[in-house]
């Protein structure tokens, strides 16, 4: 029954109090997004400022070697690995320090400090403000990036302590392909929806600093479908045909999405923008070549429309914070350029994986966790393994095909 | 191929960490609420609308989750039984449906806690606990109070203001009664409730999940349930884990069908969508949230009530009026100018939601 839905009124006892209005909420959101972007740019600037300048873009990186360690405490990597764990779990960079890579060790320790400050600052802000609508977005973004930096500085210490390069440098530089396509399968295990099997397609075209990527997920056992298109501009980083020593980039990505849940009687259409960055850890020391951190921050807004027979319902406006932290390494051995493995956290809650659920007190806030592996077994052909864990589990495999014209870059395999 | 093998291994490990139904066990435990077997007596509360707190040869204690309940007692031997009920409407009466008579109150007239004396012979007795008039369609008022948590030591301020309200039938809760949901906290919460003049029908929140398994249901009953009061349906859902378990969703389909032609109010702790989406104090999946709201809208739900966010918001979701009220005393959302509060609703079984009134407890706001 909904006879008097529109007629009920709100009365506040005591002095007049203005209920939160759409305008107020919008201002809060814009403010939150502005602060979040500022944080992202700041954290990236800190990373770049800490990096060694790359003045020789055409350096034959295959011949690059680690600068000799200064007075190592040990040359035994097993001892260094132990130090990277204890006391390294508290003092990130301890593994590098024992091997004599003091500059790298200090950089990792600074990374830990910044990460800790962001995490504690973000969490304290959430607690102190009672999860205020004005501060929650920036505080969550700070917490996500802080936790990402904390994990990254610890992980990089382990990586640099263990890795003996093993040809990783030969896998870089990795200028992006002009053309790349993906065709694959995903299984989505979500107890709330009937779908499960999806065909995934996407196409990426790059021209200079621009990228254009349309893509879609089609359920094969239901009517569910998601279309997504991205247009990106690369402010910083390698473009097709470039040579370069490092794999950093800063992209501004504009995205559009439309998703139809026919069986569930709603559809979701959204727009978003993201600042998508990658920082190559090789800036912090030769031992870290082949490892990187991805940071992305943005804002999305969607219209949720309900298609219920006999009812005309207003659409809901739904906005979301986009924040992503990924840690990755370039693959060694029989792998061509662009082959990499990555673990990541993605704060978005609106895709098939949804946000991470726990049996305890805290659910709903987390986004999803994921891992992907891109392995090019020829210069043109590769596979993508993908797994995501949120309120649903997503896993699958795609075939990747890309522009094999890498020899034109002077980087023939 | 070693890259693929190791990739599959790592991705499988990641997927093994997933938990897509965190509320499944808790939801299944709902089925046990209100049903107890002993050598002398079997107790079955219809729809699990009361928690059986204690059962012995001499005494049966129930905590009610609804204004009226039906129960059947199967005695295996002759018993003189004291039926003690808590969290009842002060005017509740006990009717013997088999004999067609009302049984006298032993103690606690005009209190939320009362007792009756039953003489049971071997066999089945059908009883009903209900206040006069609750089965008739009409107009009434109830209040929404949620998110008490660490504010429990100051809750008497809130109860005093609630008790001063006129003609409130009951208090409805959208969860987070305690900070961690431990037994001593739940006992403390119940102790403080003794001064409240009306019963408090509530579901649980994420702050009741600090202990595993959470003891909440042993104290206050089901997390997912529906009751009918004066022609208005109330459905309470357990969204404490930022999702509704699929088993509860199946129950919801039945409850929505029951109430389609009536005024229907749905309450849960974590809202499907946060009006401030960048905060996401909401369901973990926006897809699940929209699917649930579409279902509620299709079933012509009249009002949705939520807690979890420690402030007051009034908005619409899928065209359904929605209220978030988390003013029970937990750390308030700063700069929202509202503070501790509860919300009073006036409802008419024929006309729907008549009015919504926010009542602030703290004068400084």
A117-146 pLDDT per residue, tens: 999 999 999 989 988 999 999 999 999 999
Q: How confident is the model at residue A384 (pLDDT cuts 50, 70, 90)?
A: very high
Q: How confident is the model at residue A170 (pLDDT cuts 50, 70, 90)?
A: low
| Confidence at residue B232, expressed as pLDDT on a 0 to 100 scale | 98
Short-list B100, B36, B95, CA closest to B63: B36
| Confidence at residue A319, expressed as pLDDT on a 0 to 100 scale | 94
Give the ranges where A86-187 is alpha helix by DSSP (H): 94-98, 102-128, 136-162
Chain B closest-CA separation from residue A314 CA (Å): 6
Chain B closest-CA separation from residue A92 CA (Å): 24
Q: What percent of chain A has pLDDT over 70?
A: 78
| Confidence at residue A30, expressed as pLDDT on a 0 to 100 scale | 44
Kind and range of the H or E run holding B163: helix B155-163
| Confidence at residue B7, expressed as pLDDT on a 0 to 100 scale | 67
Q: How confident is the model at residue A192 (pLDDT cuts 50, 70, 90)?
A: very high
Contacts of A365 in chain B (CB under 8 A): 280-281
Q: How confident is the model at residue A72 (pLDDT cuts 50, 70, 90)?
A: confident
Alpha-carbon distance of B88 to B91, in angstroms, equals: 8
Burial B309-335 (b: 16+ CB within 10 A, else e): bbbbbbbebbbbbbbbbbbbbbbbbbe
Query: By three-state DSSP, how is residue A381 classified?
Result: strand
Q: What percent of chain B has pLDDT over 90?
A: 89
| CB pairs A-B closer than 8 Å | 307
Cis peptide preceding A173, ω within 30 of 0: yes
**pTM (2 d.p.):** 0.89
| Confidence at residue A175, expressed as pLDDT on a 0 to 100 scale | 83
Range in A54-63, A370-379, B183-192, B290-299 the model is least confident about:
A54-63
φ/ψ region of B53 (left if φ > 0, alpha if ψ in -120 to 50, else beta) reads alpha
pLDDT at B335 over 50: yes
> Per the CB < 8 Å rule, is B246 touching A192?
yes
Contacts of B209 in chain A (CB under 8 A): 359-361
Q: How confident is the model at residue A165 (pLDDT cuts 50, 70, 90)?
A: low
Q: Which residue has the higher pLDDT, B291 or A23?
A: B291
pLDDT at B126 over 60: yes
Chain A closest-CA separation from residue B34 CA (Å): 24
Condensed to tens digits (0 to 9), the pLDDT of residues B254-270 reads 999 999 999 999 999 99
Q: How confident is the model at residue A210 (pLDDT cuts 50, 70, 90)?
A: very high
Return residues 287-306 of B near A (CB < 8 Å).
287-288, 290-291, 293-295, 297-298, 300-302
pLDDT at B160 over 90: yes
- Partner residues linked to B50 by β-bridges: B64
pLDDT at B82 over 60: yes
Question: Is B316 within 8 Å of chain A by CB?
Answer: yes
As a whole number, mean pLDDT of residues B296-314 equals 97
As a whole number, mean pLDDT of residues A147-157 equals 94
Alpha-carbon distance of B324 to B223, in angstroms, equals: 18
Mean pLDDT of chain B, nearest integer:
94
* Phi and psi angles of residue A23, each rounded to the nearest 5 degrees, phi first: -65, -45
| Confidence at residue A404, expressed as pLDDT on a 0 to 100 scale | 58
Q: How confident is the model at residue A9 (pLDDT cuts 50, 70, 90)?
A: very low
As a whole number, mean pLDDT of residues B170-174 equals 97
Contacts of B334 in chain A (CB under 8 A): 128-130, 132
Q: Which residue has the higher pLDDT, A404 or A209?
A: A209
pLDDT at A106 over 70: yes
What's the half-sphere exposure (Cβ side, CA atoms, 13 Å) at B6?
Answer: 11
Range in A171-185, A288-302, B54-68, B136-150 the model is least confident about:
A171-185
Give the ranges where B179-262 is alpha helix by DSSP (H): 183-193, 216-220, 246-259
| Confidence at residue B364, expressed as pLDDT on a 0 to 100 scale | 53
| Confidence at residue A53, expressed as pLDDT on a 0 to 100 scale | 35
pLDDT at B42 over 70: yes
| Confidence at residue A173, expressed as pLDDT on a 0 to 100 scale | 53
| Confidence at residue A34, expressed as pLDDT on a 0 to 100 scale | 47
Q: Is the dihedral of CA A300, A29, A21, B312 positive or negative?
A: positive
Alpha-carbon distance of A284 to B348, in angstroms, equals: 69
- Six token digits for residue B299: 């079933």
- Six token digits for residue B317: 């979701």
> Per the CB < 8 Å rule, is B241 touching A358?
yes
pLDDT at B2 over 80: no
As a whole number, mean pLDDT of residues B87-91 equals 96
Q: How confident is the model at residue A79 (pLDDT cuts 50, 70, 90)?
A: confident
> Per the CB < 8 Å rule, is A350 touching B264?
no
- Among all chains, which residue has been given the structure tokens 């021209």? A207
| Confidence at residue B16, expressed as pLDDT on a 0 to 100 scale | 67
Query: In a mutagenesis test of the A interface, which of B16, B18, B19, B214 is the best target, namely the one with the most A β-carbons within 10 Å?
Result: B18
Which range, A155-164, A243-252, B26-35, is most confident?
A: B26-35
> Per the CB < 8 Å rule, is B285 touching A391?
yes
Range in A221-230, A319-328, A360-369, B50-59 the model is least confident about:
A360-369
| Confidence at residue A46, expressed as pLDDT on a 0 to 100 scale | 41
- Partner residues linked to A234 by β-bridges: A251
Query: By three-state DSSP, how is residue B324 classified?
Result: strand
pLDDT at A57 over 90: no
> Per the CB < 8 Å rule, is B333 touching A130?
yes
Q: Which residue of A has its CA nearest to B316?
A: A316
pLDDT at A8 over 90: no
Q: How confident is the model at residue A334 (pLDDT cuts 50, 70, 90)?
A: confident
As a whole number, mean pLDDT of residues B304-333 equals 96
Q: Which residue of B has its CA nearest to A350?
A: B286
């Amino acid at each position: 029954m909904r006879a008097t839905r529109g007629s009920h009124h709100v009365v506040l006892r005591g002095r007049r109090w203005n209920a939160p209005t759409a305008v107020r909420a919008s201002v809060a959101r814009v403010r939150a997004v502005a602060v979040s972007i500022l944080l992202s740019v700041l954290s990236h600037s800190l990373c770049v400022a800490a990096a060694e300048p790359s003045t020789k873009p055409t350096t034959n990186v295959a011949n690059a070697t680690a600068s000799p360690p200064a007075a190592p405490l040990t040359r035994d990597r097993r001892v260094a690995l132990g130090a990277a764990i204890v006391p390294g779990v508290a003092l990130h960079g301890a593994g590098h320090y024992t091997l004599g890579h003091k500059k790298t060790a200090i950089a990792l320790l600074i990374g830990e400090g910044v990460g800790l400050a962001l995490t504690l600052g973000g969490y304290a802000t959430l607690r102190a403000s009672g999860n205020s609508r004005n501060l929650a977005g920036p505080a969550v973004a700070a917490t996500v990036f802080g936790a990402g930096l904390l994990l990254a500085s610890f992980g990089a210490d382990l990586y640099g302590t263990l890795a003996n390069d093993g040809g990783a440098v030969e896998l870089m530089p990795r200028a992006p392909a002009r053309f790349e396509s993906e065709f694959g399968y995903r299984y989505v295990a979500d107890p709330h929806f009937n779908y499960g099997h999806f065909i995934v397609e996407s196409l990426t075209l790059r021209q200079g600093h621009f990228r254009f990527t349309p893509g879609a997920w089609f359920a094969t056992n239901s009517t569910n479908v998601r279309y997504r298109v991205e247009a990106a501009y690369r402010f910083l980083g390698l473009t097709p045909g470039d040579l370069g020593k490092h794999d950093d980039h800063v992209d501004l990505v504009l995205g559009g999405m439309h998703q139809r849940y026919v069986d569930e009687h709603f559809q979701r259409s959204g727009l978003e923008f993201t600042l998508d960055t990658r920082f190559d850890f090789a800036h912090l020391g030769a031992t870290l070549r082949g490892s990187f951190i991805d940071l992305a921050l943005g804002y999305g807004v969607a219209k949720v429309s309900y298609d219920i027979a006999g009812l005309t319902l207003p659409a809901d406006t739904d906005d979301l914070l986009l924040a992503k932290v990924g840690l990755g390494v370039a693959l060694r051995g029989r792998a061509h350029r662009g082959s990499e493995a990555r673990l990541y956290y993605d704060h978005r809650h609106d895709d098939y994986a949804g946000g991470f659920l726990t049996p305890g007190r805290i659910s709903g806030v987390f986004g999803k966790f994921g891992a992907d592996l891109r392995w090019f077994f020829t210069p043109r052909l590769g596979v993508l393994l993908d797994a995501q864990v949120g309120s649903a589990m997503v896993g699958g495999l795609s075939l990747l095909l890309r522009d094999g014209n890498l020899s034109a870059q002077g980087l023939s395999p | 191929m070693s890259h693929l093998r190791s990739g599959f291994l790592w991705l499988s490990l990641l997927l093994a960490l997933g938990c897509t139904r965190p509320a499944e066990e808790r939801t299944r435990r709902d089925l046990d609420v209100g049903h107890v077997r002993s050598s002398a007596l079997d107790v079955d509360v219809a729809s699990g609308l009361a928690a059986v707190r204690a059962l012995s040869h001499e005494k049966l204690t129930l905590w009610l989750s609804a204004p009226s309940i039906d129960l059947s007692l199967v005695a295996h031997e002759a018993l003189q039984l004291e039926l003690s009920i808590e969290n009842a409407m002060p005017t509740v009466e006990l009717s013997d449906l088999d004999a067609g008579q009302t049984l006298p109150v032993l103690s606690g007239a005009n209190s939320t806690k009362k007792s009756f004396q039953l003489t049971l012979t071997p066999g089945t007795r059908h009883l009903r606990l209900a206040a006069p008039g609750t089965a008739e369609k009409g107009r009434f008022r109830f209040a929404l109070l949620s998110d008490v948590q660490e504010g429990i030591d100051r809750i008497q301020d809130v109860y005093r203001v609630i008790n001063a309200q006129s003609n409130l039938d009951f208090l409805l809760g959208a969860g987070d009664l305690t900070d961690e949901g431990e037994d001593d906290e739940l006992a403390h919460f119940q102790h403080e409730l003794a001064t409240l003049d009306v019963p408090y029908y509530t579901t649980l929140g994420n702050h009741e999940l600090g202990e595993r398994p959470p003891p909440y249901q042993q104290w206050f009953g089901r997390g997912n349930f529906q009751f009918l009061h004066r022609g208005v349906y109330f459905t309470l859902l357990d969204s404490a884990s930022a999702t509704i378990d699929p088993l509860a969703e199946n129950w919801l389909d039945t409850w929505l069908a029951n109430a389609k032609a009536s005024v229907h109010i749905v309450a849960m702790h974590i809202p499907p969508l946060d009006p401030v989406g960048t905060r996401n104090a909401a369901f973990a999946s926006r897809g699940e949230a929209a699917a649930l709201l579409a279902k509620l809208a299709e079933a012509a739900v009249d009002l949705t009530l939520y807690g979890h966010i420690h402030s007051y918001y009034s908005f619409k979701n899928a065209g359904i009026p929605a209220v978030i009220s988390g003013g029970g005393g937990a750390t308030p959302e700063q700069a929202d100018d509202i503070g501790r509060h509860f919300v009073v609703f006036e409802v008419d079984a024929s006309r729907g939601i008549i009015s919504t009134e926010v009542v602030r407890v703290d004068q400084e706001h």
